[in-house]
Amino acid sequence: YTTYKNVLYICPTHLNFANRPGSARNIAIKVSLLTSEDESTGQVKAIYGKSSGPKFLKESWTSITYHNRTPDFYEEIKVQLPVKMTPDHHLFFTVYHIKS
């Protein structure tokens, strides 16, 4: 038997908020795969979870970098893309400033 999978590896590496006014220093990134513009209903359970949790999740988060306006990230996010992609499928990156 042959099984085909479309797997995408996402490795966020660096953000630069040094020239942005304000206090964007505690940064986290959320990544999700959407099938529509509506984030609440369009998320797909296609992101591989950690070994201690469910196999697929709707979103994945990077770790929070504390007090760094130019954070580096080291996570690897693994996404199983649908076999039949449509023009509505897209990756959605949301950058959060976490207030302590």
**Alpha-carbon torsion 72, 97, 31, 47, what sign?**
positive
pLDDT in tens, 9-56: 999 888 877 777 776 678 889 999 999 888 778 899 999 998 888 999
Pick from 76, 78, 88, 72: nearest CA to 34: 88
> The whole model's pTM is what?
0.82
